[in-house]
Amino acid sequence: MTLDQALAAVTATLSSPALRVDRKRVHEDSESYLMIVLDASDGTEAGPVDNGPRLVSKLSGEVTRLTVPDALDRAAGMTRVG
């Protein structure tokens, strides 16, 4: 799976057009990409916002939400792409 394919996989899971993947903060290792989804609504979205870290498997393309502490732990062993 390429970075562009991983970005498309995360984008397909987003619940609002106000959410964006931050390409400048992508990390990777041999198994996955770690991406951050940002809320670009300036607080105008009603209800909870589905932003935060996502892990994308390079093998399956599966997208998993992570907690911030889990994402920080994973990022420590990864290389920054963006």
Contacts of 32 (CB under 8 A, 6+ apart): 55, 56, 57, 58, 74
Return the percentage of the chain with pLDDT > 70, whole number.
Answer: 94
Q: How many domains does the chain have?
A: 1
Buried b / exposed e over 38-77, threshold 16 CB at 10 Å, is ebeeeeebeeebebbbbbbebeeeebeebeeeebeebbee
Residues of the chain with pLDDT under 70: 43, 45-48
| Domain that includes residue 27, residue range | 3-42+49-80
Cα 78 from Cα 51, distance rounded (Å): 21
